[in-house]
């Protein structure tokens, strides 16, 4: 079994504004110029001032009018409270100066700008992570609306069966900086047979970061289910290779894990695959499904009409990759077992025109350092492949479990029934190229009313 990695492209974002995109075959430099920050909107209505007159003059219309005239107010509207007026200023007059001028008038109790308020419940959530703006993939999924609905719960854990995760300081390994605050539960390293499933490559950390990289901490990039927990399970070695035996063991480990008498692992992500099939892996998947665990896997990166194994298992959600145009990425395998598609990226394109290649950017160990046997240097790097698409769906599954949909078949149905049909498919229909289509997280999470359908 091999790591599904169609094109390795890394981008060091550590020293913005320049982002270096290095392809396996050739080196491309892309100048990533951060957009100018938008100045905050005014916190008060321009041209308006609230004026409160003293009680002694509030009922004296003549004195009030004279005072407003003295304050060079163009017009004023009386409020419900006696002596309170909303004054309209002469065009071009400064609110600050008018407040100062009106406050100085003896009849005036106080004057203040007419501040703007809005509903306190956010209908979107925009994180402040430094390089979030490069995450076209999250925008494609409507992540900000999704996060207003559900950010994930720490008691819902996604097991990442991969090359490990840079989740702890142990020996030569260091915890990736943007996992500060991310919840981890103990995992296992089935390659080296120990309890420290650290990442001696980079793939697993990248995949895990898509699910739950620390978010809204002003650092790095965002994860899609950043409120959920992660379990590192290493089943692929430093070259990205693994075996059915270890994959089956990893699935069973995640399925059997107990904390306080319960298993918090509700989703298993398998960004891996290969030809053939395995009874050992099939039985492990059956067990996971029966225990209420959603299993998600990448469809494969051969660009052909055959879904890789174990994604082809009927109890596994096979996920293909699309680019920023919602077109099938050229590497993405397709076929009748394909469940849905998610952003897998295409590092050779820039469809959002931000002058940065449309890879999926997440934190991971710096590949150059890893080549030298060092696991203490990290980058926010871009990769593409169905390995990158699958964790978006695993994260969505974790969000759905956090929202209350606890059965794997129901989670799958909530994702598939609400997907955006692509490739000419009718609403609710599927095709082999895109499966049920591109996942629509907010629609899946919003559920159904009596007669009102999901949020679209």
Partner 1 sequence: MHPLRGTLRGGAAALSLALVAAAPAGAQGFAVFGQGGYFSMTAADSAKAVFDSSGGPTFGGGLSYGIGRHFYVEGAFRQFSKEGERVFVASAGSPVFKLGFPLEARLRPVYGTVGYRFPLGKSAFVPYVGVGAGSTSYREESTVAGETKTENRSKGSFHGLVGIEYGRGHLRFAAEGVYTTVPDAIGVGGVSKVYGEDDLGGFVAQAKLIVSLKKR
Q: Which residues bind partner 1 (CB under 8 A)?
A: 119, 121-123, 145, 148-149, 403-407, 409-410, 413-414, 417, 445-453, 455
Largest CA distance in the chain: 93
DSSP character for 100?
Answer: H
From the CB of 123, what's the least distance to partner 1, in Å? 4
Crossing angle of the two packed helices 244-256 and 279-290, in degrees rounded to 10: 20
- The gap from C-alpha 383 to its chain's centroid, in whole angstroms, comes to 16
From the CB of 85, what's the least distance to partner 1, in Å? 33
Q: Which residues pair with 365 in a beta bridge?
A: 378
Tokens representing 394?
A: 């695993």
- Looking at 10, 129, 162, 199, which residue is catalytic? 162
A 10 A CB-CB count for 368 gives 13
**Residue whose CB is less far from partner 1, 369 or 413:** 413
C-alpha span between 158 and 155 (Å, rounded): 10
**Residue whose CB is less far from partner 1, 68 or 294:** 294
From the CB of 429, what's the least distance to partner 1, in Å? 16
**Residue whose CB is less far from partner 1, 41 or 450:** 450
- Looking at 278, 387, 444, 446, which residue is catalytic? 387
Tell which residue, 206, 194, 202, has the closest CA to residue 170.
194
CB distance 352 to 140 below 8 Å: no
387 is known as an active-site residue? yes
**Residue whose CB is less far from partner 1, 232 or 408:** 408
**Residue that has been written with the tokens 């990533």 in this structure:** 32
Tokens representing 392?
A: 């978006």
From the CB of 448, what's the least distance to partner 1, in Å? 4
**Residue that has been written with the tokens 């060092």 in this structure:** 374
Strands 157-162 and 229-234: parallel
314 is known as an active-site residue? no
From the CB of 441, what's the least distance to partner 1, in Å? 12
Backbone angles phi, psi at 69, to 5 degrees: -65, -40
**Residue whose CB is less far from partner 1, 370 or 410:** 410
Q: Which residues are the active-site residues?
A: 162, 203, 387
């Amino acid at each position: 079994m091999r790591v599904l990695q169609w094109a390795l492209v890394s981008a060091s974002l550590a020293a913005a504004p320049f982002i270096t995109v290095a392809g396996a075959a050739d080196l491309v430099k892309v100048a990533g110029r951060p957009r100018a920050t938008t100045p905050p909107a005014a916190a008060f209505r321009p041209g308006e001032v609230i004026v409160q007159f003293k009680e002694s003059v509030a009922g004296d219309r003549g004195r009030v009018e004279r005072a407003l005239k003295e304050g060079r107010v163009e017009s004023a509207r009386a409020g419900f409270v006696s002596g309170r007026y909303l004054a309209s200023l002469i065009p071009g007059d400064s609110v600050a100066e008018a407040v100062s001028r009106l406050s100085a008038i003896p009849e005036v109790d106080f004057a203040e700008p007419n501040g703007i308020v809005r509903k306190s419940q956010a209908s979107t959530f925009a994180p402040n992570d430094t390089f979030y703006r490069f995450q076209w993939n999250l925008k494609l999924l409507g992540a900000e609306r999704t996060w207003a609905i559900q950010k994930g719960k720490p008691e819902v854990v996604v097991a990442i069966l991969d090359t490990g995760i840079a989740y702890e300081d142990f020996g030569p390994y260091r915890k990736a900086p943007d996992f500060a605050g991310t919840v981890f539960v103990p995992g296992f390293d089935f390659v080296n047979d120990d309890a420290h499933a650290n990442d001696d490559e980079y793939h697993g950390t990248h995949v895990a970061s898509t699910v739950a990289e620390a978010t809204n901490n002003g650092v790095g990039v965002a994860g899609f289910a950043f409120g959920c927990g992660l379990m590192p399970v290493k089943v692929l070695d430093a070259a990205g290779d693994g075996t059915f035996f270890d994959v089956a063991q990893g699935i069973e480990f995640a399925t059997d894990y107990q904390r306080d008498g319960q298993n918090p692992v509700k989703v298993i992500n398998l960004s891996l695959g290969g030809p053939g099939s395995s009874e050992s892996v099939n039985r492990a998947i059956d067990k996971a499904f029966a225990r209420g665990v959603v299993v998600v896997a990448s469809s494969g990166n051969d660009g052909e009409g055959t879904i890789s194994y174990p994604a082809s298992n009927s109890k596994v959600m096979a996920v293909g990759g699309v680019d920023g145009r919602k077109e099938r990425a050229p590497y993405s395998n397709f076929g009748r077992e394909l469940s849905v598609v998610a952003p897998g990226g295409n590092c050779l394109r820039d469809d959002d025109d931000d002058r940065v290649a449309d890879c999926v950017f997440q934190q991971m160990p710096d590949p150059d350092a890893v080549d030298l046997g060092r696991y203490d240097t990290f980058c926010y790097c871009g990769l593409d492949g169905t390995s990158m698409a699958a964790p978006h769906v695993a994260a969505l599954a974790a969000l759905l479990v956090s929202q209350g949909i606890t059965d794997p078949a129901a989670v799958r149905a909530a994702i598939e029934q609400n997907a955006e049909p692509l490739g000419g498919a009718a609403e609710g229909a599927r095709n082999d190229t895109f499966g049920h289509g591109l996942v629509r997280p907010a629609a899946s999470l919003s559920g159904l009313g009596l007669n009102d359908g999901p949020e679209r």
